[in-house]
Amino acid sequence: MGAFINVRMVQANGMDLEQFQFDYDMSFGVTFLHADGTVLARYGSRRGNEEEAAADMTMEGLQATMQAVLRLHRDFPGNRDLLAGKQPRRSVPYRVPEAHPLLNKYTSKLDYDGKVAGSCIHCHQVRDSERRVVRDAGKVLGQDLLSPYPMPSLLGFEMDPKRSSRVLAVAKDSLAATAGLREGDQLVRLNGQAIVSLADIQWVLHHLEAPARLVMRVSRGEERKDLVLAVKPGWDHASDIAWRVSTWDLRRMALGGMYLVSLSEAERKRHGIAEGQLGLLAKHVGQYGDHGVAKRAGVKNGDVVVAFDGITEAMSESELLRQVLGKRAKGEEVTFSYRRDGTDREAKIRLQ
C-alpha cells in the first residue's frame, strides 16, 4: 500500500461525476488514478446472489490488480492509448450529485455535528436520480440505465477473482467459446483497453453498443492472440439486476413496490405454474407511499404473479423490469394477474 496514495471516500457528496464513474450500486469500489487524473483501472464487482457475491472480490484479487496498476503507472504516459477508453465520459448532466434537482437537499459535506448518516448521498442515488429524471420526462429507460455494468458471464466467460485478468472458465457453446477463448487465458486487452480487473471488463461492456465487435487480446503461454466476438443487441437480456440497491426504485416504478423472486421447480408445481409460464413470487410487497401501490391494489406477500402487462412467458424479475420500463412510460396503467390459494385475481396499477 505504500506504493499508493490511499484515499478513503465514504460519501458521494461532492464527488466529481466527470472524474469518478463506476458501478454506483457497489458499496465497495476502487478507482486507481494517475496524479494528473487519468484513470488507470477500476476494481469492485459483484454478481447476483449473496453467496456468489462474496467470491467476486478477494484480497488476492485486489492485490493482483494493485500490482498491475503499478506497472501501468510505471509505463505512463507511454501507454496512454491503452487507457484512453477507460476515461470517464465527459457528458454528465450534473458535475456533482448534490447539483441534481432531486438531491439538492444535500450539501457537499457530511454533517458530522448533526445527523451525519442522513446527510450522506449514497453512490446509488446518482443512478436513482438519473432514472427518475428520465421517467419524470415521460420517457422509457434505456438498457444502459436498466442493466449497468453487465458481467462477462453473459458472453460465456468467468474471471478468476484471485487474479487480475485470468480467465477462470468458458461456457461451452457460448459466444466466448466460439471465439476461441480458453480457461487460463490472460485477458490483456478488451477493445484496446488494458484489463487488470473484472471491473475493467465491466466498464467496456457497460459502454458497448450492440451490434458491436468485442476484440479480446489474450496471452496464452508465449502466444498472443486477438479473438473477436460479434455481440448482438439483447446480449445482456439475462443480466441480473435484482441484487442492486437501485433496483428498489425500479420496483416502485414498474411493479408497484413488489419484490418478486423466481419460483423453484417444487414451488411452480405447488402453484400450478406450467413450464414456460410466468411465475414470480411476491416475496415482499411495499407497504407505504409510492412503494405501496401493489399492496393497495390487493397484492399480499406470497402471491404469485402469473401475468404482467400481457407478459405470460417465464422470466426473471430482472427481465420483467427491463421489459416494462423499456417500453412503458410513467403514468401508463398496466394490468396484471396474481394467484393466491389456487385462484387468479386481476389488478391494475399505474406505473411510476
Partner 1 sequence: MASLATGVAAEDGKKRTRDEMVHDDRDALSENATWIYNDLKVAFAKAEAAKKPLMVIHRCIP
Of 34, 47, 237, 340, the one binding partner 1 by CB under 8 A: 34
Q: Compute the distance between CA of residue 300 and CA of residue 286 in angstroms, rounded to an integer.
A: 9
Asked if residue 196 binds partner 1 (CB under 8 A), the reply is no
- Angstrom distances, CA of residue 350 to CA of 103, 281, 297, 324: 25, 20, 10, 12
Cβ proximity to partner 1: between 65 and 352 the closer is: 65
Q: Compute the distance between CA of residue 239 and CA of residue 7 in angstroms, rounded to an integer.
A: 32
Asked if residue 32 binds partner 1 (CB under 8 A), the reply is yes
Helix/strand/coil for 341:
coil
Q: Compute the distance between CA of residue 349 and CA of residue 332 in angstroms, rounded to an integer.
A: 8
How far from chain centre, in Å, is Cα 84?
A: 23
Stretch of residues binding partner 1 (CB under 8 A), selected from 21-29, 95-103, 225-233, 274-282: 21-29
Asked if residue 40 binds partner 1 (CB under 8 A), the reply is yes
Helix/strand/coil for 345:
strand
Stretch of residues binding partner 1 (CB under 8 A), selected from 6-14, 148-156, 222-230, 344-352: 6-14
Asked if residue 60 binds partner 1 (CB under 8 A), the reply is no
Asked if residue 266 binds partner 1 (CB under 8 A), the reply is no
Beta-ladder partners of 261: 281
Of 78, 91, 112, 310, the one binding partner 1 by CB under 8 A: 112
Asked if residue 22 binds partner 1 (CB under 8 A), the reply is yes
Q: Which residues, 6+ apart, have CB-to-CB distance to 183 below 8 Å?
A: 167, 168, 169, 170
Asked if residue 123 binds partner 1 (CB under 8 A), the reply is yes
Cβ proximity to partner 1: between 11 and 147 the closer is: 11
Asked if residue 120 binds partner 1 (CB under 8 A), the reply is yes
Q: Where would I find the beta strands (DSSP E) of 193-243?
A: 193-194, 212-220, 223-231
Asked if residue 99 binds partner 1 (CB under 8 A), the reply is no
Of 55, 84, 116, 228, the one binding partner 1 by CB under 8 A: 116
Asked if residue 69 binds partner 1 (CB under 8 A), the reply is yes
Q: Which residues, 6+ apart, have CB-to-CB distance to 92 below 8 Å?
A: 17, 18, 21
Contact footprint for partner 1 (CB under 8 A): 1, 3-12, 16, 20, 22, 26-37, 40, 44, 59, 62, 66, 69-70, 73, 110, 112, 115-117, 120, 122-123
